[in-house]
Amino acid sequence: MIKGVLFDMDGVLVDSERFIARAAIMMFAENGVSVKEEDFHPFVGTGENRYLGGVAEKYGISVDIPRVKARTYEIFGEIARKNLFPLPGAGEFITRCRKKGLKLALATSADRVKMEINLSEIGLPPETFNTIITGEDVVNKKPFPDIYIKAAERLGLKPEECLVVEDAVSGIRSGKTAGCRCLAVTTSFGAEALHEADWIYRSLLEVPDEVLEW
């Protein structure tokens, strides 16, 4: 029986991907390296350490991750201000979950600073969730199951009692490996890439009641 819903953030509640990619491109440019937005796509959902580090590896350069990440977040905060909005159905779906008495967790691979910027910009108070887990709270990021196992534990639930809501291949794999059922939205990847999910929809507006009633 479902008792909790574990939400990813980027691509599920808010679409900040193009802004973090733009911020990272600007950061790399400041360091004399020209990169492209598509370079980051394989690392979506894996946390900013891998997001930036993976692209640096692709171009054969060494970067100080804490330093370049801090600068990327600084740029992100500037360009995302007043430009982020909730994805279609995000608020309504959270309300549906609450009305059914389900516990809610936010489980994002992003660092806390990015999570705080995103939630603030879309007007979603942190108190919306019973618990919040960020990439800083786990050693092994998605696709490892750690973040969803920890989120379920924080809610006092077993993973098999939880529904993971994701948009990324790495996130679906993380949720399934943790033992959760998974709902995917095709915000960042096509349905074929997200085939491991139990349910796949274009947005949270389309999700039927059966997904929250098993």
Instruction: List the catalytic residues.
Output: 8, 10
**Per DSSP, what are the bridge partners of residue 86?**
14
Name which of 84, 77, 44, 80 is nearest 166 in CA terms: 44
Radius of gyration of the chain (CA): 17
Alpha helical stretches, state H, 31-110:
48-58, 65-80, 90-99
DSSP-based three-state secondary structure for 5 = strand
DSSP-based three-state secondary structure for 201 = strand
φ, ψ of residue 141 to 5 degrees: the values are -80, 170
Give the Cα separation of 33 and 25 in Å (integer).
Answer: 9
- 24-27, long-range: CB within 8 Å, 24+ apart, which pairs? 24/51, 24/52, 24/55, 24/72, 26/75, 27/52, 27/68, 27/71, 27/72, 27/75
